[in-house]
């Protein structure tokens, strides 16, 4: 893929401290194995909000997946379903929710919206397109400063101007195979799906105002210009707890809040009507110096108790990392970059392959640990 797209996937906010810390936190945790157990075929299956999964590794919502390989979002959804897990489609994935409506199997939709009109439009479309659960991303009131994107002409920051296209040309020309395979979908995605507050297919200005849908604060006028100087950053998806409670009334299926990093916010999510929270710092792409997710997982698990489920993402690279997260109380984990690289490399079959690698890694870790089932994991398996 062109360097700019690789860096969009691989990069994080500012000095990428949080992004690196996510992985370091897993490395800093050691197991407490039990000998003499003779574990054959450890059980990796569980349920997530009532949906059975054969592997507790979900695919995190990620923008621009339609540009990464011609198999695109549909390929990702099919791979997740073949592997017995749940794909979460991003608002900014590059395809509208309707285009996956006829796909069998569970799937969730992640929601970004700049105001309640956009939120309601997307929620109605999610229901009509048979999405099973809604994931509200709460860590993106504005965009993190991703300096690699700025360096490479920010492929995620707005409409493509002629000068931008000319500056991107060398990167693209160096990757003729990607260009030939992906150009058509990419042009339509980059020009429609990536505008902050303008998810693909949404018509924010034509939605009707109703008494039940008071607007959120509107984005500033220059909401599509990159962050600069001391200017107020444009609002992208500024959900409040009141908005989440309002969404709870509109959406009858399971509701998750993603981007939770404290026990207090986990409780606020549940109070607003969420069924689960996802401990996430957006893969270190939003608030620089946000804590590593594994480090705050116990606080969130403790605050949630039996009121809901806790999922976690950020820095999960090995099956052993999944086992550590589950031992600290996560119901399941989500991966982002690992499956995006797999998608870039080999499309749908690449995504299936990364899930099989994680499944085999997890099973081996469980056998070596002496643990028969993910249901038996708890903090006593960790130092």
Residue whose CB is nearest to ligand FMN in the complex, by number: 336
HSE-CB for 343 with a 13 A CA cutoff: 29
Q: Which of 258, 324, 331, 359 binds ligand FMN (CB under 6 A)?
A: 258
Closest CA to 231 of 150, 157, 142, 137: 142
Per-residue mark of binding to ligand FMN, 277-316 (x: CB under 6 A): ---x-xx-x---------------------------xxxx
Per-residue mark of binding to ligand FMN, 210-249 (x: CB under 6 A): ----------------------------------------
Q: Look up residue 188 and give its two tokens.
A: 């339509």
Q: Is 170 helix (H, G, I), strand (E, B) or coil?
A: helix
Q: Are 193 and 199 in contact (CB under 8 A)?
A: yes
- Kindly state whether residue 144 participates in binding ligand FMN, applying the rule CB under 6 A: no
Residue 322: partners with Cβ closer than 8 Å, 6 or more residues away: 56, 57, 316, 333, 358, 361, 362
Q: Which of 42, 72, 336, 350 binds ligand FMN (CB under 6 A)?
A: 336
Q: How far is the CB of 18 from ligand FMN (least distance, A)?
A: 10
Q: What is the largest CA-CA distance in the chain?
A: 66
Q: Which of 335, 342, 358, 371 binds ligand FMN (CB under 6 A)?
A: 335
Q: How far is the CB of 96 from ligand FMN (least distance, A)?
A: 14
Q: How far is the CB of 25 from ligand FMN (least distance, A)?
A: 11
Cβ closest to ligand FMN, residue 39 vs residue 345: 345
Q: How far is the CB of 128 from ligand FMN (least distance, A)?
A: 21
In the window 3-62, what residues touch ligand FMN (CB under 6 A)?
Answer: 8-9, 22, 60-62
In the residue annotation, 282 being an active-site residue is answered as yes
How many other CB atoms are found less than 10 A from the CB of residue 368? 14
Rg (CA), the chain: 20
Alpha-helix residue ranges (DSSP H) falling in the chain: 3-10, 17-27, 72-82, 116-128, 147-151, 162-173, 176-192, 241-250, 263-271, 293-304, 319-327, 337-369
Tokens 């979460």 found at: 88
- Kindly state whether residue 322 participates in binding ligand FMN, applying the rule CB under 6 A: no
Q: How far is the CB of 304 from ligand FMN (least distance, A)?
A: 18
What is the total count of residues that contact ligand FMN (CB under 6 A)? 24
Q: How far apart are CA 133 and CA 25, in angstroms?
A: 29
Which residues are tagged catalytic? 282
Site residues (CB under 6 A) for ligand FMN?
A: 8-9, 22, 60-63, 90, 92, 110, 137, 258, 280, 282-283, 285, 313-316, 335-337, 340
């Amino acid at each position: 893929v062109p360097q700019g797209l690789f860096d969009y996937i691989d990069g994080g906010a500012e000095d990428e401290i949080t992004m690196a810390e996510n992985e370091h936190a897993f490395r800093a945790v050691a197991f407490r194995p039990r000998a003499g157990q003779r574990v054959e075929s450890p059980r990796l299956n569980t349920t997530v909000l009532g949906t059975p999964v054969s592997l507790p590794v979900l695919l995190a919502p990620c923008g621009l997946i339609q540009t990464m390989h011609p198999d695109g979002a549909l390929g990702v959804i099919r791979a997740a379903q073949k592997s017995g897990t749940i794909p979460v489609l991003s608002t900014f994935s590059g395809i509208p929710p309707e285009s996956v409506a006829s796909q069998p199997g569970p799937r969730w939709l992640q929601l970004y919206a700049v105001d309640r009109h956009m939120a309601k439009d997307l929620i109605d479309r999610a229901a009509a397109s048979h999405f099973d659960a809604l994931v509200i991303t709460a860590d993106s009131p504005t965009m993190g400063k991703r300096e690699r994107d700025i360096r490479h002409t920010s492929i995620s920051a707005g409409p493509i101007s002629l000068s931008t296209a000319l500056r991107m040309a060398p990167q693209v020309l160096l990757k003729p195979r990607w260009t030939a395979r992906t150009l058509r979908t990419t042009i339509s995605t980059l020009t429609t799906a990536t505008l902050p507050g303008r998810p693909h297919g949404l018509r924010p200005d034509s939605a009707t105002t109703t008494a039940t849908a008071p607007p959120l604060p509107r984005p500033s006028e220059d909401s599509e210009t990159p962050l600069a100087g001391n200017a107020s950053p444009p609002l992208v998806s500024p959900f409040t707890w009141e908005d989440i409670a309002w969404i709870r009334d509109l959406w009858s299926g399971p509701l998750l809040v993603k981007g939770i990093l404290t026990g207090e916010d986990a409780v606020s999510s549940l109070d607003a009507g969420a069924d689960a929270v996802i401990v996430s710092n957006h893969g270190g792409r939003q608030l620089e110096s946000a804590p590593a997710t594994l480090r705050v997982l116990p606080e969130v698990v403790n605050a949630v108790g039996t009121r809901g489920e806790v999922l976690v993402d950020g820095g999960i690279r090995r099956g052993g990392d999944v086992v550590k997260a589950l031992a600290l109380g996560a119901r399941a984990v989500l991966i982002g970059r690992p499956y995006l690289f797999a998608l870039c490399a080999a499309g749908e079959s690449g995504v299936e392959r990364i899930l099989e690698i994680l499944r085999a890694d997890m099973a081996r870790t469980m056998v070596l640990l002496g643990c028969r089932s993910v249901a038996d994991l708890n903090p006593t398996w960790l130092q």
